[in-house]
Structure 1
Amino acid sequence: MSIQWTFIAGYLYFEIAVVIIMILPIFSPRRWNRFFKSRLFSMFQQHAAVYFYVLLGVLSLFLMDAVREMRKYSHSSDSTHLHLSAEMKGNVKLFRAQRNFYITGFAIFLAFVIRRLVSMIIIQDELMQKADSIIKEAESTVKLAKSTVLANTLQSEENKHMEEIRNQLETTEELLRMEKLRGKELEEEASKWKLKYEEIVAQTGKGDN
């Protein structure tokens, strides 16, 4: 395998390892997002789009070269079998062209997969942060509602107690008023009996004289 195809194969193995690490639940999306926002990754992220498209262009050139080699040696294998060694060399070159095609194709495919995984991990972390904030707001709202209901309950109980005291006070005042009226009646009746008693005493004194 030549140097350039060795480099592409190594890059493909690197992509496979990165995809496996990102798929496995080793790190949480929050840790991945922190890594993507770190100073080390930000140096690469500033020109990430340029690097991606340059690498994609290089891989596309190698892919077209592999397709060209495949078409070249596939046509040569269909020709008349002149010599066994020449046919074997053609088949070996065709196999290498096909191998290079698959290596380059999978490298391009995994490049898009990694890019998509990165964006999905960032979106997942943002959604998790929003969900946490919504849950915290909901919990605070529930606590506020509970405190408000408790305060209203205490206020209603206090109002009810004050109403009972007011009713008892009104009842007591009514009883006191009735007792005052009854006391006046008794005073009037007592004064009447006193007058009658004085009249009787006066009449008895006249009779004795």
Structure 2
Amino acid sequence: MRMPPPEPEISLLTTSGVFELDGGSWEVENNVWIIGNEHEAVVVDPAHDARAIAEALGDRQVPAIICTHAHNDHVNAAPELAALTGAPILLHPDDLPLWKLTHPGDEPDEELSDGQKIVVGGLYLHVRHTPGHSPGSVSLYLPALGAVFTGDTLFQGGPGATGRSFSDFPTIIRSIETRLLDLPPETVVHTGHGPTTTIGEEQPHLSEWIARGH
């Protein structure tokens, strides 16, 4: 009898470390998302602790390590995790200047592009370029599981920070309005820090966010 294919799932690993930019540093907790099944999985935002992430992956194949953006707290464990798993690191090229602040002697393996589809465990992750928090920020839409991974672009309660280098408030609002709030309202938003939310919960607050920026 043919066995059914392994069920896909989303799992969360929280890691702790330091976010550094523009001469400042802040203690942070990051959400590391693992998406796949019992045979293979991708990692979204390899933060702080490569060995803990590798342990969570177990013996699964890792077709990609995906960085939603290149702030150090989202990519600082990427090269070590790549060495442990043999997986390529994927990053949007517009965030390469930020990547080089953390990894000056290294580069990502492959470029992410708007509209790209990444396959893992029979699932399709749709790459959406959502700049604003950083120039190369992307979100990953997973329609099969009704989820989107927004990095630091959209959180429960509002957009990501835009008060530091490489960021822009009008751009992040435009990204959220045109690339995220057009998703089905029941879509679960898996963020780079803190709790999940849904598109439907955040959509009514768009005008408030716009007013907050003026």
Shorter chain as normaliser: what TM range? under 0.3
Greater per-residue helix proportion: 1
Report the TM-score, using the length of structure 2 for normalisation.
0.21
Query: Which structure's relative contact order is higher, taking Cα pairs within 8 Å and 6+ residues apart?
Result: 1
Report which of the two structures shows the higher radius of gyration computed on alpha carbons.
1
* Structure showing the higher strand proportion among its residues: 2
